[in-house]
Amino acid sequence: MPSAVPTAVSAPGKVFLAGGYLVLDREYTALVFGLSARISIVAREIKTSLGVQLSEIVVDSPQFVDAQWRYGYHLAPDDGGIKVTQLHSSGNNIDANPFVEVTLSYALSYITGTAFRRSSHAFDPAQFTILADNDYYSQPHSMTGNEKNPTRFAKFPTTLRGANKTGLGSSAALVTSLTASLLTHYLPSSDFDLTTAEGKRTLHNLAQAAHCAAQGKVGSGFDVAAAVYGSCRYRRFSPSILKNMPEAGSPGFGPALTKLINDTTWDTEIIKEGVNVPPGTALRMCDVDCGSQTVGMVKKVLQWRESNPTESKKLWDELQLRNVKLGTVLSEGKLEEIRNAVADIRELIRSMSTQSDVPIEPESQTTLLDALTNVEGVYNGVVPGAGGYDAVVVLMKDDEATEKRVKDFVANWSKEKGGQVRLLDVKGEMEGVRKENIKEYAGWIP
């Protein structure tokens, strides 16, 4: 039976500190940190009048304009699992949301195949409310770098499509938290328990499969791994695992999905031991609103790698060693070695930028990071993940004086250089997906 009382779960965003591009190859690993910025999902029953029956699931995101999606669902023929269809009421111009729609298809199909395979099952109508911490989206330009939004969940005067993301991994956090919420709401704890290792393994596999299907490609999966497990050293799963999955709703999808999620062939490696930042040190991010990211960066880097196998392998092998060294420096608390360990990584990133002609660490970001490193209390920083112009991450002392110096610096930088650089409130943290106290969302849930 579905949960009669509202439930809440959340999953963190991510920052990719070391291992960008390398993570695409199973030969290498990545150092990924979860973030304090989370996407929460509150699940509750939809109450109906006596004698009224609904076959509907509602997903809403009340921080944005016109952000409610209503779905019907039915059991597809030929073992096709649960087919989800977006419903349009009159005058409703809501955009499709593929991440929500695909996640519903995958999660409901898995639930049907797992807990109810011996009997037919109709899902009771339910509403799932998405609430994203403010740092997932750039704040209105009327806010300066030193102002903090007084509420945890800001209201934005725009549609979800029109919001400017800050690159914290919102789609992976959404898919992970929504999948966890659906499993928690509809399954008894004997079939799914988010707090257990087995529950997290099921969630990881299902969220990875759904996220890849929604993106239309098989990614490295580091962002979903961070959403489930939090900060970790990550080695990707083999893309072949998802190679022969039918489309949701097509013949054979249901049993194929159940087998895929429960299979032991997933070869992801997630190591949490020895991944942390020293006490008194914070991993912080700056939103850099001063240029658009170059499209096709990953594709271009991989083309360079293919055309230059010897040189690229030598560079990637050395970069892997330097990435591992940074992880060791951080976990062992060697504060005096952080600056040089990060500088050694950035040196090779710039070399890869030059050789591949891809702006992984563009000159404008190099200038910004070098200047930030001169601020008292800042150790060093990198352009995270695939790089580009959108954000930088810094390792700095975790105290109010250092935070004020950095905020004052980025405010002055923005005035002098144009554009806007803003220190986000978000910090690196260790924990992944978790259950939440429903009282945290008072005022948002009727």
Count of domains observed in the chain:
2
Q: What is the mean pLDDT of the chain?
A: 90
Asked if the structure places residue 268 within a domain, the reply is yes
8, 25, 16, 437: which is closest to 220 by C-alpha?
Answer: 25
Taking phi first (over 0 means left), then psi (-120 to 50 degrees means alpha), and beta for anything else, what does residue 300 get? alpha
Residue type, 53: Q
Same domain, 254 and 178: yes
Asked if the structure places residue 446 within a domain, the reply is no
Asked if the structure places residue 91 within a domain, the reply is yes
pLDDT digits (tens, 9 = 90+) for 161-171: 888 888 888 99
Number of H helices, E strands in the chain: 10, 13
- What's the pLDDT score for residue 264? 85
Give Cα separations from 69 to 61, 76, 89, 170, 212 (angstroms): 9, 21, 10, 18, 21
How would you write the pLDDT of the chain (446 residues) with one tens digit per residue? Answer: 566 789 999 999 999 999 999 999 999 999 999 999 999 999 999 876 555 556 789 999 999 988 999 999 999 999 999 999 998 754 456 688 999 999 999 999 999 987 554 444 568 899 999 999 999 987 654 444 445 566 889 998 888 888 888 888 899 999 999 999 999 999 999 999 999 999 999 999 999 999 999 999 999 999 999 999 999 999 999 999 999 899 999 999 999 999 999 988 899 999 999 999 999 999 999 988 755 555 689 999 999 999 999 999 999 999 999 999 999 999 999 999 999 999 999 999 999 999 999 999 999 999 999 999 999 999 999 999 889 988 899 999 999 999 999 999 999 999 998 878 999 999 999 999 999 999 999 888 87
Q: What is the CATH number of the domain that holds 259?
A: 3.30.230.10
Asked if the structure places residue 2 within a domain, the reply is no
Same domain, 59 and 121: yes
Asked if the structure places residue 1 within a domain, the reply is no
Give the containing element (helix H, strand E) for 365: helix 363-373
Same domain, 248 and 153: yes
- What's the pLDDT score for residue 353? 96
Same domain, 263 and 394: no
Same domain, 255 and 390: no
pLDDT digits (tens, 9 = 90+) for 141-194: 444 444 556 688 999 888 888 888 888 889 999 999 999 999 999 999 999 999
Same domain, 105 and 12: yes
Same domain, 269 and 376: no
Q: What is the CATH number of the domain that holds 407?
A: 3.30.70.890
Same domain, 294 and 343: yes
Same domain, 158 and 217: yes
- Rounded to 5 degrees, φ, ψ at 339 are -60, -50
- What's the pLDDT score for residue 93? 61
Asked if the structure places residue 248 within a domain, the reply is yes
Can you give the residue range of the structural domain that contains 418? 281-429
Same domain, 262 and 294: no
Asked if the structure places residue 42 within a domain, the reply is yes
Same domain, 251 and 324: no
Contact 267, 226 (CB under 8 A): no
With both helix axes pointing from N to C terminus, report the angle between 363-373 and 335-356 in degrees, rounded to the nearest 10: 170
Residue at token pair 């009048």:
49
pLDDT digits (tens, 9 = 90+) for 87-116: 875 445 668 899 999 999 999 999 998 755
- What's the pLDDT score for residue 360? 95
Same domain, 107 and 162: yes
Asked if the structure places residue 140 within a domain, the reply is yes
